[in-house]
Structure 1
Amino acid sequence: MKLIFTSDEFKVGNYSYNGFPILLHENMTTFREGLDFLLYHCIQRGRVASKNSWITYGRDFYDFFAFIDANNLDWRAVNTRGDGHIIAVYRDASLTKFNLAESTVNRRLRLIIKFYQYAAHQGWVSELPYSVETITVRQPKSFLAHTDRSGGNRSTADVLLKTRKTTIKVLSSSQVEMLLMAIKDSRFKLMIRLGLATGLRKEELLTFPKSYVIDPRRYPVNGFYIVTISPKEMSTKGSHERSIHVPKSLMEDLWQYIIHERPILSALREDQYNELFLNENGKPYSTKSNTLNARLNKLGLPFDIFPHILRHTYATHTLYALQRQPNLSFNPLMYVRDRLGHSSITTTERYLHFIDDIADIVLNEYQREIDTMLIAV
C-alpha cells in the first residue's frame, strides 16, 4: 500500500482538489473503496475543509491498511484467523509493537470505525468488525448542560481504548516571563508573543501575512487591533474567517519589524513572500517542519514548552480574566471560542453581536503582565 497526495489535476465535479490523500495498491492501482470513503468523509460532508486535516486523515488511513497488507489480512474479514476482530488486532499492535500513544491510537481507530460504517452502508462488508456498547460518561459542566437529555449514556465501539482525563498544560505568568527572557532573537520573540497574545496555532503563526500588520501611527487605538484572518490568505484550520485581537503594544513592535528587520531578510531572496516571519535565509518557515518546536526546546527551560502551549495559555488566562470581570455583557466562553476559531459551543446571534464591541475589557491582567515583562526584556 502506498500513500500519495494529489496535484491540481485531481478534480471532483470539475473542481480541483490539491493535496488530497489517495491510497494505491502495490501494483499502483487506486484503492477504490478507500478513495470513495475519503471523498465522502473529507469533501462530500462539507465538514473537513482544512488540508492539514486531509494529511492527517490520509496518514492515519494509510497506517491501518499498510498494517493489513503487511500482515496478509483482508480488511473485508470481520475476524482475523479466528483470533479476534481485525481492528482490535491493529489496536493492540499499535500499542505494544509500535508504542503509539493511546490518544493517537484512538484517533486512528475512530477514522477506521467510520470507514467500516461507510463500508457496511455500501455493502462492502456484511457486518462491522466491532461491537457497540453503552457507557456512562461524566456530564459536562457548561451553560448548555441542561439541554443534554442523554443522562450521561453514550454508545461507543468496544475496540476504542478507555480515554484518560488529560490536563491541558498552561504556562503561568512567571513561566511566560522566563520564556520571553530566554529568547534573545527579536524575530522569534515576536512570533512567540503573537502566539501568547492571540492564541494562533503553529501553522497560523508561520503563515501570518505581513499585510495584517498596520502602522499604529496612522490608525491609533487605545486597546487592541481587530484583525480578520482568512484561510484564503494564510493557513487556518477550517474554512471560515475569524477575528483576533492584537494588543496595541504588539502591533507597534510588529510594525517596527516590518520597517527595519524584515526588509533585510527579504533582500536575501529574489522571491517576495506574503508571510510576515522569514527565517535567516529570507524564506518563510515550513509548516511541516519542527523548526519552531526545536527552537523552543533549545531554550533549555525547566518546564514543557511547545507551540500549542502558547494557545492553551492564551485561552486559559483570557477566560479566567474575563470571568473575573463583573457585569459582562457577553459570555466569556463564546469570546474565547471565537478568538480561537472553535465550533464546539452552540451560540446565538444575540451573543455574537457583542464580540467586537467589548473594547478595552479584553486588555486583561494576563496581557498587562506580558507588557510589563517586556519592559525589562
Structure 2
Amino acid sequence: MNRTVIGTKNKDVLSDFLDYLLIERGLSKNTVEAYKNDLSKYIAFLDKKKLSVEKSDQSIVRNYLSSLKSISRRSQSRSISAMRSFDKFLVIEKHTDDLIMNNIDSPKKEHVLPEVLDVDVVFKLLELPNQSNVLGIRDKAILELLYSAGLRISELVGLDCSDIYAEDRLVKVTGKGAKQRIVPLGKKALESITYYLNRSWIKLAGSKRPTELFLNHRGKRISRQGTWFVIQKYAKSLEIKVYPHVLRHSFATHMLENGADLRAVQEMLGHVSISTTQIYTHLSQAHLKKAYHKYHPRAKA
C-alpha cells in the first residue's frame, strides 16, 4: 500500500473517531477539535513512516512520544489521553485487536506555581472599567467579586441575585461537585455589586427580570468565555499577562501574605483538601521573595 493510500485511510479512521466523539459521546465541538489537533500530529507521524493505524504498536507509539519531549508535560499528557481514547475506538471498531496504549504512562505533573498579580496591579485593574456605561459597571462588579471572594469563573457565572446576602456581606457559592459554601464579601465588592444591580442589571434584564446575577448585553447569563474576555480586556490595557484564575490565585496569596489562617483560606476557596490550599503558602513565599528582590534597595547590592 503506497503512502498516499495509507495517509487517506488514516485520515478516514481519524474522521470516524471524531464523529464518534461528537455524535455518540456527545462531546463539545471545542473538545473534539482538541482531540483532532493532538491526533493529527500522530497520524502525520504514521503517514511519514508509511504506516497505517492498524500497524502501529507500542514501540512506534513510544518513538512518537519521544518526539514530543520538547513540549510541556501537560501537553504531552493531553496527547497521550487522546491517543488512549483513539486506541480504544480502534479496538471497538475492530481495526485492531490489542490496546497498544495500555502500558504507556503519562509524564509526571509539573508543579508549576501560578503567577499572581501584585496588590497595586490588582487595584489598577479594578479601577479600569468605565463607570459611566452599563457594561463597564457590570465589569467592575465582576472583577471586584472575583478578587474579593476568590471565586472560580464558573462559580461567578453560576451566581443568581438571591446568592448575594447584602446585609450580612456574604455570597453563597456553588462550587465543584455542587458543593455550596458561604464566602465573605469585601466592602468595595458589595458596593460595586449593589451599584451594578441598581444601575446596569435593570437595563440589561429589561422586562424579563431573570434570576441570574451577571448578564450579557442580551440579558442572558454571562458565559465563562464572556467573563474571561472581560478579564483579558482590562489586563491588556495594563499590558499584563493573565490566565482565568489569576484573581483567585492573587486573592489567596494576598490573604496568606497578610496573615490569614490556612484553614480559613481553604474554606473560602472551597478546597476539599488543605494540601491543595498549601500551594499558596509556597506561592506566597515566592511572591514575597520576588517583591523583595525587585523593590529592596539593598537586595542586589
Q: Flag the 1:304–1:67 CA change in 2: closer, same or farther, 3 A.
A: closer
Q: Flag the 1:107–1:284 CA change in 2: closer, same or farther, 3 A.
A: same
Aligned residue type for 1:201: R
The aligned residue for residue 180 of structure 2 is: 241
User: CA shift at 1:67, angstroms?
Assistant: 4.7
Question: 1:159-198 alignment to 2 at 5 Å?
Answer: 160=107, 164-184=110-130, 185-198=136-149
Aligned residue type for 1:229: V
The structure that is helix-richer by fraction is 2
Of 23, 26, 29, the residue aligned with 2:16 is 26
The size of the alignment, in residue pairs, is: 250
Q: Deviations over 1:31-86 (max 9, x none)?
A: 7xxx7xx79xxxxxxxxxxx9xx88876555544555556564278424xxxx432
User: CA shift at 1:25, angstroms?
Assistant: 4.9
Q: Deviations over 1:13-38 (max 9, x none)?
A: xxxxxxxxxx985399747xxx7xx7
The aligned residue for residue 311 of structure 1 is: 248
Q: Flag the 1:127–1:206 CA change in 2: closer, same or farther, 3 A.
A: closer
The aligned residue for residue 298 of structure 1 is: 236
The aligned residue for residue 265 of structure 1 is: 204
Q: Flag the 1:115–1:198 CA change in 2: closer, same or farther, 3 A.
A: farther
Of 208, 224, 227, the residue aligned with 2:159 is 208
Taking the aligned partners of 1:209 and 1:55, their CA distance within structure 2 comes to: 28
The aligned residue for residue 358 of structure 1 is: none
* Unaligned segments of structure 2, at least 5 residues: 1-12, 131-135, 277-301
Taking the aligned partners of 2:225 and 2:66, their CA distance within structure 1 comes to: 27
TM-score normalised by L of structure 1: 0.52
The aligned residue for residue 375 of structure 1 is: none
Aligned residue type for 2:80: L
Q: Quick check: 1:296–1:305 contact (8 Å CA) kept in 2?
A: no
* Unaligned segments of structure 1, at least 5 residues: 1-22, 40-50, 133-156, 231-235, 324-331, 348-377
The aligned residue for residue 3 of structure 1 is: none
The aligned residue for residue 78 of structure 1 is: 57
Q: Quick check: 2:117–2:246 contact (8 Å CA) kept in 1?
A: yes
User: CA shift at 1:114, angstroms?
Assistant: 8.5
The aligned residue for residue 254 of structure 1 is: 193
Aligned residue type for 1:173: V
User: CA shift at 1:179, angstroms?
Assistant: 1.6
Q: Deviations over 1:121-165 (max 9, x none)?
A: xxx864654757xxxxxxxxxxxxxxxxxxxxxxxx3x62x6555
User: CA shift at 1:192, angstroms?
Assistant: 0.5
Q: Flag the 1:276–1:245 CA change in 2: closer, same or farther, 3 A.
A: same
User: CA shift at 1:199, angstroms?
Assistant: 1.1
Q: Give the 3-state SS of the residue equivalent to 2:258 in structure 1.
A: helix
Asked whether 1:92 is paired with 2:67, we answer: yes
Taking the aligned partners of 1:253 and 1:341, their CA distance within structure 2 comes to: 23
The structure that is strand-richer by fraction is 1
Q: Deviations over 1:202-259 (max 9, x none)?
A: 2322332222224x4xx3x4xx42x3323xxxxx543322332223443243123212
Identity %: 22
Taking the aligned partners of 1:306 and 1:292, their CA distance within structure 2 comes to: 12
Aligned residue type for 1:203: S
Asked whether 1:109 is paired with 2:87, we answer: no
Q: Give the 3-state SS of the residue equivalent to 2:185 in structure 1.
A: strand
User: CA shift at 1:309, angstroms?
Assistant: 0.8
Taking the aligned partners of 1:69 and 1:128, their CA distance within structure 2 comes to: 15
Q: Quick check: 2:18–2:32 contact (8 Å CA) kept in 1?
A: no
Q: Give the 3-state SS of the residue equivalent to 1:26 in structure 2.
A: helix
TM-score normalised by L of structure 2: 0.62
Question: 1:138-177 alignment to 2 at 5 Å?
Answer: 157=105, 160=107, 164-177=110-123
Taking the aligned partners of 1:338 and 1:305, their CA distance within structure 2 comes to: 25
Q: Give the 3-state SS of the residue equivalent to 1:176 in structure 2.
A: helix
User: CA shift at 1:172, angstroms?
Assistant: 1.6
Q: Flag the 1:86–1:282 CA change in 2: closer, same or farther, 3 A.
A: same
Q: Give the 3-state SS of the residue equivalent to 2:242 in structure 1.
A: coil
Taking the aligned partners of 2:35 and 2:249, their CA distance within structure 1 comes to: 28
Q: Quick check: 1:199–1:310 contact (8 Å CA) kept in 2?
A: yes
Q: Quick check: 2:116–2:250 contact (8 Å CA) kept in 1?
A: yes
Question: 1:350-365 alignment to 2 at 5 Å?
Answer: none
Q: Deviations over 1:335-364 (max 9, x none)?
A: 3233223334479xxxxxxxxxxxxxxxxx
Q: Flag the 1:76–1:263 CA change in 2: closer, same or farther, 3 A.
A: farther
Aligned residue type for 1:191: I
Taking the aligned partners of 2:137 and 2:180, their CA distance within structure 1 comes to: 29
The aligned residue for residue 343 of structure 1 is: 272
